[in-house]
Amino acid sequence: MESSKEFREQGHKMIDYLADYFEKIEQYPVKSQVKPGDIIKQLPDKAPVVAESMGDIMGDFNDIILPGITHWQHPRFHAYFPANNSFPSILAEILTSGLGVQAMIWETSPAAAELEELTLNWFKEMMQLPENWHGVIQDTASTATLVALLTAREKYSKFEINQKGFTNQKFRVYCSAQAHSSIDKAVKISGIGNENLIKIPVDRNLEMDAKALENQINKDLSKGYTPLFVIVALGTTGTVAIDSLDAIGKIADKYNCWTHVDAAYAGSAMILPEFREKIKGLEWADSFVFNPHKWLFTNFDVSVYYVKDKEALINTFAILPSYLRTHTYGKVNDYRDWGIQLGRRFRALKLWFVLRSFGTDRLKEKLREHINLAKWFEIKVIDDPNFELLLPRSLNVVVFKATCSKDPDDFNEKLVAQINQSGAMYLTHTVVEEKYAIRMVIGNTRVTQTHVEQSWKQISETAKGMNN
């Protein structure tokens, strides 16, 4: 396909295809039912020598690829955290792909750089984040956490490690025992090492124990270690537990540690005044990350990262080969110096489309709808003697288990497997106090009360049927 005429024709067909897909998405099994190897064995071993038609390509997509897709946009996708999209975001992604922008520096696309600055300032105002924070888009929170850790490493070594490598530095990194696995990866990549990642115990709500953190820091100081970096979770992966930023931030500041806030999921709720007022201590944070691609209806991937010390960030990552020297260098934001990647997609465009198409009022309304649906589901769990609420609901996530069995772990694992095999909905699990727990996440763009009622009915009836 090389002509604009054919592109126009196929483009119209693709929009129609996607519109039809969303209208009939509930006809598909939420979780793909294929087995490992099912897809690849249906496809040729070598790329085609002769061009194939879009009709043939889409035919294979429907017959081979689509059955192997787990439908993350299905309204009864209640697993993991959502990776939501919306029609404005999809349209922006089409524009982004069509323009083919490489947004590594201001000169390679001035609008991309300035729109990134603008949209992140909009978020900063919407979420009432500190004025002295500076924003940049990363691909995921995993990358943002690594960027924060590398910046802290360089700042506290006076940028010596970038130049000479490690010279007997003995850094320690601290996080909750419930923190995300990306932190484990970051300490490996940064050279700090897994043995220097200290996981702090949690309380009964699975929030970091601030006193235990301070005790551990003092213990490490007595052994000659340098406390470097503390991760505060505003919404853990398993249960959306909210660490006390104020208490932990004060301790980190006392011992001159970098405080990084991982709000990858729950950070989107900072646009809600009723949630934001519960989060005290933002002034202690050196960096903060949240993912609009999870709960703000923006296509994966886009992660918003804020940092207090912009100069430390840039000094950690800046490079200036001759081919990147421009007359605007130092006068504008060249975001390739604000992270790991040199090449950068025009990710700000989809944020701009979503913010303008929804407006802040509708975004707040959507999040509140999801939270209210989770409240309804939580009451159903509490009122049913065959189920147990394991933790108080956090935002739009309910953690529970079926109690109607002598071996609840085995029973609940089989319950989730049977539900997922049905194709009607998709659940995942976590572990709470060494017990198997079911996570019910209600955050899909298109989820309604009817969908949640259907999901509860299926869970409760399946559990009763298994127990008979």
**pLDDT tens digits along 241-279:** 999 999 999 999 999 999 999 999 999 999 999 999 999
* 226-233 and 258-262 beta bridge pairing: parallel
Using one digit for the tens of pLDDT, what is the confidence trace for 163-179? 999 998 899 999 999 99
Tell which of 286, 312, 345 closes a domain: 345
Strand, helix or coil for residue 224 = coil
Average pLDDT of the residues of the chain: 96
**Facing residues of 227 across strands?**
172
Task: Specify the pLDDT at position 467.
Answer: 83
- Percent of the chain's residues with pLDDT above 90: 94
Q: How many domains does the chain have?
A: 3
Q: Is it the case that residue 328 has pLDDT exceeding 90?
A: no
Using one digit for the tens of pLDDT, what is the confidence trace for 7-62? 999 999 999 999 999 999 999 999 999 999 999 999 999 999 999 999 999 999 99
Are 107 and 260 in contact, with CB atoms under 8 Å apart?
no
171, 311: one domain? yes
382, 468: one domain? yes
Distance CA 86, CA 356 (A): 13
369 falls within a domain: yes
350 falls within a domain: no
Q: Is it the case that residue 322 has pLDDT exceeding 90?
A: no
271, 318: one domain? yes
Q: For 118-122, 325-329, 368-372, which range has the lowest pLDDT when averaged over its residues?
A: 325-329
60 falls within a domain: yes
Q: pLDDT tier at 321 (50, 70, 90 boundaries)?
A: confident
Task: Provide CB contacts within 8 A for 370, sequence distance 6+.
Answer: 295, 395, 396, 442, 443, 447
Distance CA 224, CA 454 (A): 57
27 falls within a domain: yes
353 falls within a domain: no
Amino acid at 369: E
96 falls within a domain: no
Task: Specify the pLDDT at position 212.
Answer: 98
Are 333 and 312 in contact, with CB atoms under 8 Å apart?
no
228 falls within a domain: yes
169, 244: one domain? yes
Task: Specify the pLDDT at position 44.
Answer: 96
Domain that holds residue 170: 101-345
Strand, helix or coil for residue 287 = strand
Mean pLDDT of 92-107: 95
334, 208: one domain? yes
- What separation, in Å, do the N-terminal and C-terminal C-alpha atoms of the chain show? 59
373, 290: one domain? no
CA 317 to chain centre: 23
Using one digit for the tens of pLDDT, what is the confidence trace for 216-249? 999 999 999 999 999 999 999 999 999 999 999 9
161, 283: one domain? yes
Q: Is it the case that residue 183 has pLDDT exceeding 80?
A: yes
Q: pLDDT tier at 103 (50, 70, 90 boundaries)?
A: very high
Q: Is it the case that residue 147 has pLDDT exceeding 80?
A: yes
Nearest to 155 by CA among 350, 317, 340: 317
Crossing angle for the helix pair 110-126 and 348-383, to the nearest 10 degrees: 30
Q: Which helix (DSSP H) or strand (DSSP E) does residue 437 occupy?
A: strand 435-441
88 falls within a domain: no
Q: pLDDT tier at 131 (50, 70, 90 boundaries)?
A: very high
Rounded to two decimals, the pTM is: 0.95
Cis peptide upstream of residue 301 (ω within 30 degrees of 0): yes
Mean pLDDT of 115-142: 97
Are 296 and 115 in contact, with CB atoms under 8 Å apart?
no
Task: Provide CB contacts within 8 A for 127, sequence distance 6+.
Answer: 267, 270, 271, 276
Query: Which DSSP letter does residue 201 get?
Result: P
Encoding tokens for residue 380?
């159903």
56, 184: one domain? no
Task: Provide CB contacts within 8 A for 150, sequence distance 6+.
Answer: 190, 316, 317
Task: Specify the pLDDT at position 243.
Answer: 97
Query: Which DSSP letter does residue 391 get?
Result: S
242, 269: one domain? yes
Q: pLDDT tier at 128 (50, 70, 90 boundaries)?
A: very high
Q: Is it the case that residue 310 has pLDDT exceeding 90?
A: yes
Output the domain CATH number for residue 245: 3.40.640.10
46, 184: one domain? no
112, 142: one domain? yes
Q: Is it the case that residue 323 has pLDDT exceeding 80?
A: no
Tell which of 282, 314, 345 closes a domain: 345
Taking the CB of residue 368, how many other CB atoms lie within 10 A of it? 15
Output the domain CATH number for residue 16: 3.90.1150.170
16, 148: one domain? no
Tell which of 345, 373, 406 closes a domain: 345
Q: pLDDT tier at 330 (50, 70, 90 boundaries)?
A: confident
Task: Show the 3-state SS of 324-368.
Answer: HCCCCCCCCCCHHHHCCCCCCCCCHHHHHHHHHHHHHHHHHHHHH
Task: Specify the pLDDT at position 174.
Answer: 98
